[in-house]
A and B are shown apart, each in its own frame.
Chain A
Amino acid sequence: MKLLFYESYKLLVNKLFIVLFVLLAAGSLVSFVWAQLSVVNSEEFSEEKSAVQNRDEYNSVITELNRLDADEAMKKAQEQKKQYEMCMMISAIMSSDNTGMNIQSALDGLKMQDEESFNKAIQLCNESTDFKEKFFLYDCMIKKYQYIKNYRTFINDMDSRADRQLSFSIFSDNDAFSEANIKKTVSDFAPLKGTEVKTGNYLFAEHGTSHFITDLMAISVMFLLCMCLFMQEREKGLLLLVKSCRNGHTDTAVSKVLTLVLFTFITVIVFYGTELVASGIIYGLPDMNAPVQSMKTFMDCSLKISVGQYLILWLLSKLLILLTIALLFSVIFNLFRSTVLVWLVSIGILAAEYTLYISVPPQSSFNHPHFINLFYFLDSKTLLADYENLNIFSIPVNTIDIFRVLCISLILVFAVMVIMAFSLRSQIAKKSMISSFFEMLKRKLLPIHGSTSVFIHELYKRLIHDKGIIVLAVLFIFAIQTSNEAISFKYDSIPEATYYAYLEQLEGRITPEKEQFIEKEQKRFDDLQNESFELEIMENKTPEENSRLRSIDTILKGKYKGFQMLMEQYDYLKHQHEQKGTEIWFVNEKKYSSLLTDSKGMASRFILCAVALTLLTANVFSIEYRRSMKRLLRSTPSGKGRLFALKYIIALLCGAAVFLLVYSPVLIRYLNNWGNILSDAPVSSLRQFSELGNMTIGGYLALSGILYFILSIMIAAFVCSLSELTRNHFLTLLLSSAAILTVYFLMLGNITLRFYAILGSGKYIIFIIGTVITSGIIILMTLLSNRLFLYDQIRRNQKWSCK
């Protein structure tokens, strides 16, 4: 108990832990509130908007309708909706540009349809103007009552549906999973028969329990927690002392695990608790006693629980999965001594899990990697809301049961592993026979030699000491593989295939021959259309004529549409030529979009580049603090300004090398596949780049290259500066990862942040301001780190601060 107290105390007095914990909690809360407010404040109507902006009305409508029987309530909601629809139509007619006579005739038309409703609508139009919101509100209520109706059918017809399915031969094999699954589904949902779902405001529970960023932040806290619990003592050389004490083995390990459990619990309360509170403040509290199935997203939920019980279960699920993740990290921290290895293994496991989670389709027959996955379990709302049975040796097993059993088992196994690894594993590295042999050889064969270039030694530190060479080797393999990868295009439809075929022929600068070809094709399709028309109006068609009509119809629906796609592009090119004097070039828009605006590829290359640079440069300065080398280095002639400059140059060179290895293979790949790129064609030949005037595709690619190069350099400078500002390798890795992930998710989520979108829409000013601000921040960080490295006085000894 005392040890548990001291382990907790160590965490609570650890400024780094506390500051980051608070920052991550605040970040998570801010992002949650921001996400909710962006839905609420969007221009489009939504239930959320209504619940927040017109809360009283929203609640009164729900209360009023809830007093009625579900069918009556739905009827009333439909009437109200119709009424407000009439209001909207009247309003639209009144505000149109038509003449007075036209307006009157349109209103008369409406009146004739339903006079009573019309008169009421006129009255409502005079009283208020917010009928659009009310129309959508009642529409939303109708959907809610429709859901109640559907749910009743869904739950009451469960048996008959199952019988019907079992009557099909494919489901009726006694040994098959399908049959067992159907039977299990029926028995799992049996207790829910007669459940009366209620209409209400459940936005609190729906939104408050589905914010993915909070999960990411909580995972970061788990990593930080393990770092503070298991790494700090080792880094400060205290572990040998701790382990030499009577209670320094199992007791300390157990107390560390218990501290981890305690702080995971605190994390769940702080992170998810605040999220629920914020959600409650924004949307208001629901009826906690209503069945959880009252929320539409819980239609498939087989648990007989209330909304309040769901919230408790949700928090417990979060606790279980976060504890599993925390203990997994703890095992890694105790098995590997190298900082980089710990980081790589942890990130590797998470990346592998996430890749499986998003790439394995949940409907596939081998969907286990999707469902038996940390990220699926982390999405507790989906876990509890969806009903999924997995095929485990032909036995259907519910994912909630798998989650429960697996998490508890893993928690126990990992806890034992942590305790054993901490207690039994020696902290003193043993030398292998191979390394001893090589040392002997080196001693015998190698003379005293070396270089007097600080640059070479700093490079050695980056590449060999910090294992940067492995990162570069992996990138090199990736570069070779990417360069030789084939590019294949899938045609989703005949028009698309036709468009591709035309472009194969027409790609490049427009010529008289090409113009003639287009005209000829146009004439051909015109003739076909005429022929089709004539055949259609013909009475008593012969079989041959019918067949001809069908084949023409097929051509017009398929190839002609492809030709129309080409013609639309041609019209646009001619328009550009007339307006801006841009040369007319045919460029396959779909093909070149994959090269110029591949957002997924761009995001994945960004993440690859950023991860590589983080690994390469996160230890540039922190290594000197970790090894207490700063005082020694600063006492040498080159240990100040020159050393800083060289360290920075090497970090920037790493940025350049990573840029070459990540981005250039993409261009090589396209050149390998296409033979050549239409580099002289104006980039505005693609409609999404209509604002870019006379810039050529080559110029655009060069500009993108420069921008990616600057981006790589900026990432390197950012991580490098962070390394000096934090003076801690782990912290640099953590903060860089957080920054990279933030940018990555923004890139994935917000199209306006992608530079091609900004340039394409001609928003140069935004682009320039964005670049200047980002560069400014990085330059400021660089200057600050330079100042710290050169002028910051050696930290006071503990004795002074104590006194």
Chain B
Amino acid sequence: MELQIKNVSKSYGKSKRALDDFSLTLTPGVYGLLGANGAGKSTLMNILTDNLSADTGKILWDGEDIRRLGKRYRSLIGYMPQQQGLYDSFTANRFLWYMAALKGLKKKDAKKQITELLNIVSLKNDAHKRLGDYSGGMKQRVLIAQALLGEPKLLILDEPTAGLDPKERIRIRSFISEIAADKIVILVTHVVSDIECIADRIILMKNGRLIKYDTSSGLISSVADKVFEKKCSKEELPELQKSFSCGNVLQRDECLVFRIVGDRCPDDFSASNSEISLEEVYLYYIEYENDKNDLP
């Protein structure tokens, strides 16, 4: 099972390139897609879900163009969009049956899967409740359940844990890890901790290009000598924040620690001894590049 994205480009109008010669090959596992707003993540997902066609390049599923596969390709996808509206008068049960119908599931399989998925997302007791009466978190769980219907081979989840409480978030994360053995799971989220926990590999995107593709630990080690810190007082903080836009403030014991990312260590700063987080990796690769010139 392999998904190949080959030199895909997509422009909106003449001025803006949303995807710029993007290439990547994905095999079963969980992939975390990270990038700033406007990096091209949504465009990539729309192309992968057959909602948008690329201007140039190809996407191949096991060597076959997904445009040619059409319906057969879409039957392999499970997609959970972000900020999704739902039919208010539908119950969760009806909505899942509707999605099962659209996915072409047989009645017997649909019944089995819907029952299982309602259990997994803890909605069995609320299955006959109108979606209009659901909370944001419950709607999110229904959407996860529908994405998993039909046992998809390619699962594209856009902010799957948004709106969920910590317990539910952990449950869903664990479930995604469990099912990822024979699936390609693409997780798009700004919750770095979700990616840190379950993503085998992380895809960093910027201005429509792939800028880094590695494991979480690989990425962290790549910025091991790029993180610096300085203890500071509350009064010093505004001045530091003004000087270093890629800074992160941590509360440690009774003082504040100002951490920055960069290629060289500024005066008064020292290399960080403590653990580097994926957020700092993100800051280094995504934000620092833009602000390089601002460093003293």
Q: With a CB–CB cut-off of 8 A, which chain A residues contact B42?
A: 797
CB-contact partner of A460 in B16, B75, B94, under 8 A: B94
- Whether a CB of chain B sits under 8 angstroms from the CB of A101 is no
CA distance A701 to B136 in the complex (A): 56
Q: In the complex the two chains form, is A634's CB within 8 Å of B104's CB?
A: no
Closest to A445 in B: B128
CA distance A794 to B146 in the complex (A): 21
Q: With a CB–CB cut-off of 8 A, which chain A residues contact B88?
A: 465
In the complex, how many angstroms separate the beta carbon of A453 from the nearest chain B beta carbon? 6
- Do A636 and B102 contact each other (CB < 8 Å), given the known contacts A450-B114, A465-B89, A803-B16? yes
- Whether a CB of chain B sits under 8 angstroms from the CB of A457 is yes
- Whether a CB of chain B sits under 8 angstroms from the CB of A628 is yes
Q: Which of B7-50 contact A (CB under 8 A)?
A: 12-13, 15-16, 18, 37-38, 42, 46, 49-50
Q: With a CB–CB cut-off of 8 A, which chain B residues contact A632?
A: 79, 81, 84, 146
- Whether a CB of chain B sits under 8 angstroms from the CB of A431 is yes
- The stretch that binds A, out of B105-113, B185-193, B246-254, is B105-113
Q: Which of A431-464 contact B (CB under 8 A)?
A: 431, 439, 442-443, 446, 448-454, 456-457, 460-461, 464
CA distance A449 to B105 in the complex (A): 14
Q: In the complex the two chains form, is A637's CB within 8 Å of B101's CB?
A: no
Closest to A446 in B: B128
Q: In the complex the two chains form, is B15's CB within 8 Å of A443's CB?
A: no
Q: In the complex the two chains form, is A443's CB within 8 Å of B111's CB?
A: no
- Do A457 and B94 contact each other (CB < 8 Å), given the known contacts A443-B125, A627-B86, A800-B18? yes
CA distance A803 to B124 in the complex (A): 45
- Residue in B84, B118, B126 whose Cβ sees the most chain A Cβ within 10 Å: B84
Interface residues on A, range: 35 or more
Q: In the complex the two chains form, is B107's CB within 8 Å of A451's CB?
A: yes
Q: In the complex the two chains form, is A637's CB within 8 Å of B103's CB?
A: yes
Binary contact track B175-188/A, C-beta < 8 Å → 1, others 0: 00000000000000
- Whether a CB of chain B sits under 8 angstroms from the CB of A405 is no
CA distance A627 to B86 in the complex (A): 6
- Whether a CB of chain A sits under 8 angstroms from the CB of B53 is yes
Q: In the complex the two chains form, is B46's CB within 8 Å of A631's CB?
A: yes
- Whether a CB of chain B sits under 8 angstroms from the CB of A89 is no
Closest to B115 in A: A448
- Do A634 and B118 contact each other (CB < 8 Å), given the known contacts A460-B94, A803-B15? no
- Do A443 and B128 contact each other (CB < 8 Å), given the known contacts A448-B114, A799-B37? yes
Q: In the complex the two chains form, is A628's CB within 8 Å of B81's CB?
A: yes
Q: With a CB–CB cut-off of 8 A, which chain A residues contact B126?
A: 443
Closest to B98 in A: A457
Q: In the complex the two chains form, is A628's CB within 8 Å of B83's CB?
A: yes
- Whether a CB of chain B sits under 8 angstroms from the CB of A67 is no
- Whether a CB of chain A sits under 8 angstroms from the CB of B127 is yes
CB-contact partner of B102 in A446, A454, A794, under 8 A: A454
Q: With a CB–CB cut-off of 8 A, which chain A residues contact B128?
A: 439, 442-443, 446
Q: With a CB–CB cut-off of 8 A, which chain A residues contact B146?
A: 632
Q: In the complex the two chains form, is B102's CB within 8 Å of A637's CB?
A: yes
CB-contact partner of A450 in B94, B103, B130, under 8 A: B94
Q: In the complex the two chains form, is B74's CB within 8 Å of A639's CB?
A: yes
CB-contact partner of B101 in A446, A638, A796, A803, under 8 A: A638
- Do A439 and B103 contact each other (CB < 8 Å), given the known contacts A627-B85, A631-B46? no
Q: With a CB–CB cut-off of 8 A, which chain A residues contact B16?
A: 800, 803
Q: With a CB–CB cut-off of 8 A, which chain A residues contact B81?
A: 628, 631-632
Q: In the complex the two chains form, is B97's CB within 8 Å of A450's CB?
A: yes
- Whether a CB of chain A sits under 8 angstroms from the CB of B231 is no
- Residue in B72, B91, B101 whose Cβ sees the most chain A Cβ within 10 Å: B101
CA distance A630 to B50 in the complex (A): 12
CA distance A431 to B129 in the complex (A): 11
Binary contact track A776-803/B, C-beta < 8 Å → 1, others 0: 0000000000000000011011011101
CA distance A429 to B130 in the complex (A): 12
- Whether a CB of chain B sits under 8 angstroms from the CB of A626 is yes
CA distance A645 to B268 in the complex (A): 69
A-B contact pairs, 10 of them (CB 8 A): A431-B133, A446-B128, A451-B107, A627-B86, A628-B84, A629-B85, A630-B51, A635-B50, A636-B99, A639-B74
Hey, which bits of chain B sit against chain A, CB under 8 A? 12-13, 15-16, 18, 37-38, 42, 46, 49-53, 71-72, 74-75, 77, 79, 81, 83-91, 93-94, 96-107, 110-111, 114-115, 118, 124-130, 132-133, 146
- A-B pairs, top 6 by smallest CB distance, nearest first, are A450-B97, A627-B85, A442-B128, A635-B49, A636-B102, A457-B98
Known: A631-B49, A637-B102. 18 other contacts (CB 8 A): A442-B128, A443-B127, A449-B93, A449-B111, A450-B100, A452-B105, A454-B98, A457-B97, A627-B87, A629-B86, A629-B87, A632-B81, A632-B146, A635-B50, A635-B74, A636-B103, A637-B104, A794-B52
